[in-house]
Amino acid sequence: MQPDKSGRSHSEARNQSNGDPPSEQATSHPLTTRQWMHVLSAFVVFLNTWGLLLTFGAFQTHWEQVQFPDRSSSEISWISTVSGFLLLFSGIITGPMYDYGYLRPLVVAGSLLEVFGLMMVSLSTQYYQVFLSQGICIGLGGGMLYVPSIAAAAASLQEFRRAKFIGLIASATGVGGVIYPVMFRQLLSSVGFPWAVRSIAFVVFATYFLSWAILPYKAFQNTTVRRWVDYSALTEPSFMLAIVSAFFAGVAYYLPLIYLPLFAETAIPALRNTDLPFYLLSIANGASIIGRLLSGLLAVRIGPFETCTAGLAASACLLFCWVAVDSKAGVIAWSVFWGFISSIIVSMPGAMLPLLCTSLSVLGTRTGMYWASVGLGVLVGGPIGGALVGGMVDKSDWLPLQLFAACCMAAGAVFLVYPLVCVRGRRTI
């Protein structure tokens, strides 16, 4: 039987387009060298984009308590939320650029810009300097990397492999979220803030250098895509509701990552003037590694949409449970569960989005549109959360933020139900 352009037999391609399970021979076929290159390159990108973004909660605490004590939580949170917004919203431009075949230039330029931003953070002493270097420069650098890399990995993998390997790629977020906060905290007390940040920059540069070496030189180039926004997607209710779901999930997801160390420091008396609040992010991110890997395996069994919807619902329940956390053991346990459960909603979109595309030729564009919606949620979520926090004298001051995050996450779960039903309906046809 003659293979098609992707290397699959015509029967395999037909079965996968109809949603039928792949044959045993197809599932046992190993990944090619080119596919592994895309997977490993995307792993490095996740390590240094999302992994670094999840470290900003430790920076938030440092900015508030040491560098800028005269600034409010809402003002300081703009630094990390703008960075997260640019990381995700830049996909509106970088997604179509990937479709045009500019993957490698984006990866090289974005990684250098991110390292440069970290170096500038180490030299910054004023709020506007930190905002420009950490918020703008690092955010733009990560934005040039994130959507193209995940789109390249998703496009290079067959549908029955996507969820599993996207989960493997996303586990890099947890690895970075463990390494970088611990590095920052340990080096901060031994060599000071400037060299703590520079040391992180050196690690980031070294891993990106590896990514340059393994990234394939020849990228797929689509000569038919000419628009930065796929307007046909705006007429598809399933895709639009998935975008709305992504916005609400983005609002809620980032709030604990920004404010968890500060919550532990101010709301739990037993943790005041201790190092444990700084390590809660590493605890949560360490648990997320397991969650991302298991979510990929689960999605192979029940589907990425089903896994993501369940993850959103469980995350909403966990955020409501955050209200009851009032002890050292409680905040550690909650951090573990939050890292494990919430990791599902970040790792699954890479496997979900190809199911919402009429053709893989628009995968980069639609991936950019989806993550831009998440970016908008991240942008507004942090400052709103900071404004909702009171004087941070006791636990009750955190109640408005906790309830706001929980309700937004619940809304994200509700809005994803219709796209889930649509995808399941197409599988049965």
Could you please report the per-residue DSSP string of 312-334?
Answer: HHHHHHHHHHGGG--SHHHHHHH
Which one-letter amino acid corresponds to residue 149? S
Q: Among residues 250, 249, 243, which one has the least CA distance to residue 367?
A: 243
Q: What is the pLDDT along the chain (429 residues), one digit of tens a residue?
A: 444 444 444 434 333 333 333 443 344 466 677 777 778 888 888 888 888 887 777 787 788 778 888 887 778 878 888 888 888 888 778 877 877 778 888 888 999 999 999 999 999 889 899 999 998 999 999 888 887 887 777 777 766 666 677 777 777 877 888 888 888 888 888 888 899 999 999 999 998 888 787 665 555 555 454 466 677 777 888 889 999 999 999 899 888 888 888 888 888 888 777 778 778 888 888 888 888 888 878 887 888 888 989 999 999 999 999 999 988 899 999 999 998 998 888 878 877 887 887 776 677 778 778 888 888 888 888 888 888 886 666 677 888 999 999 999 999 999 999 988 888 776 655
pLDDT recorded at residue 394: 66
* Cα angle, residue 254 at apex, residues 248 and 255 outer, rounded to 5°: 95
Cα end-to-end span (Å), the chain: 25
Write down all domains in the chain, each with its CATH number in brackets. Answer: 32-220+227-428 (1.20.1250.20)
pLDDT digits (tens, 9 = 90+) for 170-193: 778 778 888 888 888 888 888 888
Token pair in block for residue 85: 């917004």
Which one-letter amino acid corresponds to residue 426? R
Which one-letter amino acid corresponds to residue 120? M
